[in-house]
């Protein structure tokens, strides 16, 4: 065993996990990018991190029931499966209200865990810090 092996693991296990914020601007016009964003979000949420996906532009359509369907590529998990795993792990969505209005979407029909909110609400949720990804 290498000197210090296990110490990083012990440090990580004794440290409160940082929040994860994933910003997604792309919808089904780039299903592979959406899949990668969801894989990162699912990994964070399933590892116990408080996780928020901030959806803007075409990504806001993904939280309309029945929209996020299909598989991006051969060997990729289905988007509906990734969304179900994300929601089961406690992942949340913050959906840009300007984009909701511009696309004439009804936020009352969004999937569970999706709330309208902009950058102020995102920063309030982040608080002291978060690991961020942008797709």
CATH number of the domain to which 105 belongs: 3.40.1260.10
pLDDT attached to residue 51: 98
pLDDT tens digits for 80-114?
999 999 999 999 999 999 999 999 999 999 999 99
Q: How many domains does the chain have?
A: 1
Rounded to an integer, the average pLDDT of 38-67 is 98
Q: Which two tokens stand for residue 14?
A: 């004794």
User: Domain for residue 5, yes or no?
Assistant: no
Rounded to an integer, the average pLDDT of 40-55 is 98
* Global confidence as pTM: 0.86
pLDDT attached to residue 17: 74
Instruction: Tell me if 135 sits within 8 A of 25, measured CB to CB.
Output: yes
User: Domain for residue 12, yes or no?
Assistant: no
Instruction: Tell me if 17 sits within 8 A of 47, measured CB to CB.
Output: yes
Domain of residue 83: give its range: 18-134
Q: Which residue has the higher pLDDT, 15 or 89?
A: 89
pLDDT attached to residue 13: 46
């Amino acid at each position: 065993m290498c000197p210090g092996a296990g110490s990083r693991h012990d440090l990580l296990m004794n440290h409160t996990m940082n929040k994860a914020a994933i910003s997604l601007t792309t919808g089904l016009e780039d299903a592979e990018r959406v899949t990668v964003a969801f894989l990162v979000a699912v990994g964070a949420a399933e590892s116990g991190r408080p996780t928020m996906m901030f959806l803007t532009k075409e990504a806001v359509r993904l939280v309309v029931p029945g929209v996020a369907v299909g598989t991006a590529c051969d060997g990729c998990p289905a988007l509906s499966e990734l969304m179900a795993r994300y929601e089961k792990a406690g992942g949340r969505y913050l959906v840009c209200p300007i984009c909701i209005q511009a696309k004439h979407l009804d936020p009352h029909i969004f999937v569970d865990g999706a709330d309208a909110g902009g950058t102020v609400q995102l920063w309030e949720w982040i608080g002291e810090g978060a690991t961020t990804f942008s797709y």
